[in-house]
Structure 1
Amino acid sequence: MDNSNPFANIAGPEDARAALASWKERAEQRAADAIAASEAVQELTAVGMDANGVVAVKLNSSGAVIGVQFAPDLQRMQLRHAERQFMEAYQNAGQALLENARAAVEARLDPGSPTAKALVDSIKMRFPEPPEEELQ
């Protein structure tokens, strides 16, 4: 029996009904998994810090800043350095959000599926991964 096409070996009406019911059940499960993955991504938050531990930034699933914490060391910094620390923490939070989204999606969907890719790409557009040479 060819399992790649559930409709390939239909011998009669009962086989057709069974194949259609099986197809419908799989489609409903894929839809439920996609909804669960989407909801999981929407509930995500992530925190990122700068390398010096001076600024911590918390993001919601859309990448909006929902919290910022500053260490007392910030008071002694020049403004341009404080800005750089904030942006580093923000980018690190974005990368954490992207990784959290990947994990949430992959726990519910095949990572290669178009739905999984679209959910992760929605965050990746806002927080592109650094080029390979920057990672080393």
Structure 2
Amino acid sequence: MDNPYANISSPDDARAALANWKEKADKMAADAVAASEAVQELTAVGTDRNGVVAVKLNSSGAVIGVQFSTDMQRMQLRHAERQFMEAYQAAGRNLLEAAKAAVNERLSESSPTARALVDSIKMRFPEQPAEDEQI
């Protein structure tokens, strides 16, 4: 990798190199703020496989809406609970995917800020192995 500061031979060169560095740092900071704001604005909806429950989450994973189909009235409570949890997990997976997309539009995947933003959601909604991989 070339050292951009190796050819500094005068105070003017040093000022130009410093201005260039500051411009890059300012852009990286602005991109990080934009990515963070984009993640904070996210919402996601998930449904259970039967379409009985739909759950809407905000960016922190809090439930901000729930809709039940009329099929819920005929369901035993333990089945309704399972349907809700399935919809909640689906919403979490959708939130994680939306966060990845929002962050990747603004930051490099290798950016520590990008990883931190996505990991904050991944901690609440860990990625599950494919169904055929589960025991």
Mapped partners of 2:117, 2:28: distance in 1:
15
Mapped partners of 1:75, 1:48: distance in 2:
20
Count of aligned residue pairs for this structure pair = 134
Tell me how far 1:131 sits from its aligned partner: 2.1
Q: 1:29 to 1:114 in 2, by over 3 A?
A: same
What does residue 113 of structure 2 align with?
A: 115
Mapped partners of 2:130, 2:45: distance in 1:
23
Give the RMSD, CA atoms, in angstroms. 1.4
Give the TM-score, by structure 1 length: 0.94
Aligned equivalent of 1:79, options 65, 77, 80: 77
What does residue 34 of structure 1 align with?
A: 32
Q: Percent identity, please.
A: 76
Mapped partners of 1:112, 1:16: distance in 2:
29
Aligned equivalent of 2:47, options 43, 46, 49: 49
Gaps of 5+ in 2: none
Give the TM-score, by structure 2 length: 0.95
Mapped contact 1:6–1:23 kept (Cα < 8 A): no
1:107 alignment partner, SS class: helix
Mapped partners of 1:104, 1:10: distance in 2:
38
Mapped partners of 2:29, 2:14: distance in 1:
22
Aligned equivalent of 1:10, options 3, 8, 11: 8
Tell me how far 1:73 sits from its aligned partner: 0.3
